[in-house]
Structure 1
Amino acid sequence: MKPAPFTIARPAALDAAQQTLHAASHDTKIISGGQSLGPMLNLRLARPERLVDITGLPELTEIRQTATHVEIGAAVTHARIEDGEVPDPIPGMLRHVASGIAYRAVRNRGTIGGSLCHADPAADWVTAMTALGALLVVRSGSSGVREIPMSGFMLGAYRTAMEAGEFLTTVRIPRYSPRARWGYYKICRKVGEFADAIAAFVADPETRTCRVVFGSTGGAPLACRDLARHIATTGGAAPLATVKTVLRDSGLDLSEVKIHQLAVAHRRAVSGALSDV
């Protein structure tokens, strides 16, 4: 298959990209690494009249750190994160997640911002960034800059809280203490395929933070306060039956097979991370 005809703009600076999007029609899409949008174009599942290529914008490929946060430009590739170019907001988690995304060829081109904005329920970053409590910085030509917590960014499958004309510029992740622990486990039929189930957790006793998140649920990541409270109070994973009950009561339309996969992923993520504590 070949895509429907479209034009493409390649602005040289972030302000120019912002102006281009503000002046463009509603049938315009941003393209960065193109690892998700490219196949959709070829299959004609997406038929934009115009693409705005932001891959080469230097402002979107920068990696910065402060005393309290690590900031990743939206066009930073999975491979750069896997290779350790991003400072650790929590030791090892970002590299671990990045290394498990698809294949190296995809990681060389795919970007963290593109993955988050595509909002595929089975994507790694939407779950990982929810567990990390990330904040997303978006810009538009009309309203300037605003910040969206990752917990409210993904509204459902392939839907986000961004408005027309807005685009993601920065992923801001809080730093965690040396005592922080994390776990991330996903179940796939084979390496490189989309996940059947994802479980993540982040716990930091110094900031009294604990988050438990499930991904690949068919919609936005599911955060479970009851299971986070269990980890915070007991220092271990809840029994498998308890995890399954929480998932059944979540209100999501999950099959028993999916519930079992998610529960097993959660147990492995938590048990593996806390076994050395």
Structure 2
Amino acid sequence: MKPAKFEYLRPRGVDEALKALAAGNGDARLLAGGQSLGVLLNLRMIEPKYVIDISQLAELKGIEMSGTAITIGAGVTHAAIEDANLNDAAGRILAKVAVGIAYRTVRNRGTIGGSLAHADPAADWPPVLMALDAKVRLRGPGGRRELPVSEFILGPLTTALEAGEMVESVRIPRLTKAARWGRAKFEIKPGDFAQSLAAILDDREARRARVVLSGRALSPVRLTGAEEALANARARSPADLAAVMKVAEQDLARVSARADEYDRSLNRVMVERALKEAFV
């Protein structure tokens, strides 16, 4: 299929893009990489009056590193993150996540901001960024505001973006040298969307323990009981791992209550694998 007719706009800056978005009065869509929007347009699942191309805006393509955070512009592609190989500690997490997204052609176009704004529950970035305590910077008619990823993503394909707003950047707190990281993803084929994905952060120096799960039927969610158990697992021994998993299973029963037996089993295995990686 082909898209319904729309007016293509190519603003010269973010301010101009926001004006066009406001003028669209809810009938405009932003085009960054187009890897999700293009499909929706072609299938006529959405039929906006305006498509606003922000893919070439330099304001959205920067990567800044400070002593406390890494800030990535919304227009930075997965490939750019892969190639930058950012020194984020814990084994260069961001580059490893980026390289596992689809294949290079998609990574050359798809953006981190687009992935967050689309909020597909099976996407790679949302659960990982939630585990990293990342914040999304939004820009709109009322200025700028920041939300933790955990508050930005409200459900499948649903975010806290308000009318006329766009994702401007993502700010990720720097990890300490003591940080441990684990990630397990089950996919039908390499680079595919996740059937289930677990992300674990254990940063003792920063006093941060995160256990996040997502998948095809589950938007990213923190397993708070497992996080508390992980924070208390000082030795990272096999006994500690078993104790954390015991609590995680209680969390899984809560968040996977509506899932079928296959998904429940898959989620459990992914959490256990991610924890084992973090405990190494």
Q: 1:237 matched to which residue of 2? A: 241
- Tell me how far 1:47 sits from its aligned partner: 0.9
Task: Report whether the alignment pairs 1:12 with 2:12.
Answer: yes
TM alignment of 1:97-116, pairs within 5 A: 97-116=97-116
C-alpha contact 2:122 2:219 (8 A) present in aligned 1: no
**Aligned counterparts of 1:78 and 1:138: Cα–Cα separation in 2:** 20
C-alpha contact 2:229 2:247 (8 A) present in aligned 1: no
Let me know the Cα RMSD of the aligned residues.
1.6
Range with greater deviation from structure 2 (87-96 or 152-161): 87-96
- What are the ranges of 5 or more consecutive residues in structure 1 without an aligned counterpart? none
**Aligned counterparts of 1:195 and 1:220: Cα–Cα separation in 2:** 11
Q: 2:120 matched to which residue of 1? A: 120
SS in 2 for 1:230: helix
- Tell me how far 1:150 sits from its aligned partner: 0.7
**Aligned counterparts of 1:164 and 1:89: Cα–Cα separation in 2:** 37
Per-residue deviation, residues 187-215 of structure 1 (Å, max 9, x unmatched): 01211222111000111111110000001
Q: 1:30 matched to which residue of 2? A: 30
**Aligned counterparts of 1:127 and 1:26: Cα–Cα separation in 2:** 28
Task: Report whether the alignment pairs 1:62 with 2:62.
Answer: yes
C-alpha contact 2:223 2:248 (8 A) present in aligned 1: no
**Aligned counterparts of 2:124 and 2:57: Cα–Cα separation in 1:** 24
Q: 1:176 matched to which residue of 2? A: 175
Cα distance 1:46–1:252, how it changes in 2: closer, same or farther (>3 A)? farther
- What are the ranges of 5 or more consecutive residues in structure 2 without an aligned counterpart? none
C-alpha contact 1:7 1:49 (8 A) present in aligned 2: yes
Q: 1:205 matched to which residue of 2? A: 204
1:232 alignment partner AA: A
Cα distance 1:73–1:90, how it changes in 2: closer, same or farther (>3 A)? farther
C-alpha contact 2:89 2:179 (8 A) present in aligned 1: no
Q: 2:276 matched to which residue of 1? A: 271
Task: Report whether the alignment pairs 1:259 with 2:264.
Answer: yes
SS in 1 for 2:241: coil
TM alignment of 1:79-90, pairs within 5 A: 79-84=79-84, 86-88=86-88, 90=90
Cα distance 1:89–1:37, how it changes in 2: closer, same or farther (>3 A)? farther
Range with greater deviation from structure 2 (222-231 or 112-121): 222-231
Range with greater deviation from structure 2 (126-135 or 23-32): 23-32
SS in 1 for 2:15: helix
Task: Report whether the alignment pairs 1:191 with 2:196.
Answer: no
Cα distance 1:8–1:89, how it changes in 2: closer, same or farther (>3 A)? farther
**Aligned counterparts of 1:261 and 1:242: Cα–Cα separation in 2:** 17
SS in 1 for 2:35: coil
**TM-score if structure 2 supplies the norm length?**
0.93
- Tell me how far 1:230 sits from its aligned partner: 2.0
Range with greater deviation from structure 2 (30-39 or 210-219): 210-219
C-alpha contact 1:244 1:260 (8 A) present in aligned 2: no
Task: Report whether the alignment pairs 1:156 with 2:155.
Answer: yes
1:116 alignment partner AA: L
How many residues matched?
A: 274
Per-residue deviation, residues 85-115 of structure 1 (Å, max 9, x unmatched): 5442654110111111111111111000000
Cα distance 1:2–1:174, how it changes in 2: closer, same or farther (>3 A)? same
2:108 alignment partner AA: N
C-alpha contact 1:122 1:216 (8 A) present in aligned 2: yes
C-alpha contact 1:79 1:99 (8 A) present in aligned 2: yes
- Tell me how far 1:19 sits from its aligned partner: 1.7
SS in 2 for 1:270: helix
C-alpha contact 2:201 2:278 (8 A) present in aligned 1: no
Q: What percent of counterpart residues are identical? A: 43
Per-residue deviation, residues 149-205 of structure 1 (Å, max 9, x unmatched): 111011111000010110000100000100001111100121122211100011111
- Tell me how far 1:77 sits from its aligned partner: 0.4
SS in 1 for 2:194: coil
C-alpha contact 2:194 2:216 (8 A) present in aligned 1: no
Q: 1:46 matched to which residue of 2? A: 46
2:260 alignment partner AA: S
Report runs of 4+ in structure 1 exceeding 4 Å deviation: 239-242
Range with greater deviation from structure 2 (242-251 or 128-137): 242-251
1:11 alignment partner AA: P
